Every structure is written in C-alpha cells, then in structure tokens.
Structure 1
C-alpha cells in the first residue's frame, strides 16, 4: 500500500518590517522580507543604530589598551 504525498504548503512567516505574510521558498530572494524595500529599510535601521542587540556597550580602544597594560603589570584592579 503506497502513501500518497500531499503537496505541502510552504512555510509562511511575517515580514520582520511590515508583517506581510511571506512564503519561505527559494524563489523569494528577499526572505524573510516581503520585498527589497523592506529589506533595505531594515538594513538602514541596523546601520543607524535603531536596531541593536542588548548587552554591555563595547569597549573603545583606550579602554582595551588600559586593560592590557593593567594585565601586563599584574594589576587586577581588586583590593584583596
């Protein structure tokens, strides 16, 4: 007895920008976005800092240099 495979519908996800349903298929060059426009708007938001991943701010070069110098001196910054 063979089983008939029913064609499955492609996964649909909401566009991260406008929430329009987007079929997750190879033919959609902009997935998970619905269009190039939404993709570029999202990229711009990352570039200008509107979108960011939560966490501690990155150290600047001066802080890194100071940390390296303290480590080389054996200064841990703790008072034991």
Structure 2
C-alpha cells in the first residue's frame, strides 16, 4: 500500500466515531454490512455491500476522501478520491 496525498490533510489524532453503527441504516430499518469510519469527521457508514452504501454516499456528499474499516481487527484504509487502498 502506498502513500496517498490525502493522508496529510487528515486530522490527527483520527476523529472519534460519531456512532457505533450506521445511523442512516438504523433510521430506515436496514441492517448495515461492514462498517466504515470517515477519517475526516468520524461518520460511521455501511459499505458498498450494504443495500444503501452510506459510506460511499457520505464521500459523495462531503468530499471526505479517506475512510478505514470500522470492523474489529481490521485497520485498512481506502481513498475514494484515488480509488485505492492506502
């Protein structure tokens, strides 16, 4: 995994999660699959395997480029802007 220019723009330390699950899924009665944490603001959203793809929707609406897995034991990060693991 290579460095991404968006990493330097992220807050340090990383933001605290705003919720423990995807609030958009909970609001519509859907079950989130594989949670993702926005490393700009702490939004927690469901992955693209979920019916509503709230993590990607968050990126589309906010432009926040980098997220990481919010699943136990996982620490990989994804840059939506560069479309790559970082």
Asked if TM exceeds 0.5, the reply is no
Query: When the two structures are superposed, what TM-score results if normalisation uses the length of structure 2?
Result: 0.26
- The structure with more strand, counted as a fraction of residues: 2
Which structure has the bigger radius of gyration? Answer: 1
> Structure 1 length as normaliser, TM-score?
0.27
Tell me which of the two structures has the higher relative contact order, counting C-alpha pairs closer than 8 angstroms and 6 or more residues apart: 2
